Chains A and B, each alone.
Chain A
Amino acid sequence: DSGVTQTPKHLITATGQRVTLRCSPRSGDLSVYWYQQSLDQGLQFLIQYYNGEERAKGNILERFSAQQFPDLHSELNLSSLELGDSALYFCASSVASRQYNEQFFGPGTRLTVL
Chain B
Amino acid sequence: AQSVAQPEDQVNVAEGNPLTVKCTYSVSGNPYLFWYVQYPNRGLQFLLKYITGDNLVKGSYGFEAEFNKSQTSFHLKKPSALVSDSALYFCAVREPQTGANNLFFGTGTRLTVIP
Contact = CB atoms under 8 A, between A and B. Distances in A.
Interface of A: 2, 4, 31, 33, 42-45, 48, 55-56, 58, 90, 92, 97-100, 102-108
Interface string B71-111: 00000000000000000001000101001111111111000
Contacts of B36: 105
B17 interface: no
Given A4-B43, A42-B105, 8 more contacts: A33-B103, A42-B107, A44-B105, A48-B102, A90-B44, A99-B96, A107-B42, A108-B42
B49 interface: yes
13 contacts: A43-B108, A55-B101, A56-B101, A90-B43, A97-B101, A99-B99, A99-B101, A100-B32, A100-B49, A102-B46, A103-B46, A105-B36, A107-B43
Interface string B38-50: 0001111110010
Interface of B: 32, 34, 36, 41-46, 49, 51, 90, 94, 96, 99-108
A45 B46 contact: no
Contacts of A100: 32, 49, 51
Q: Which 3 A-B residue pairings sit nearest by Cβ, starting from the closest?
A: A105-B43, A45-B102, A43-B105
B102 A102 contact: no
B89 to A, nearest CB: 12
Given A33-B102, A42-B105, A103-B103, A2 B45 contact: yes
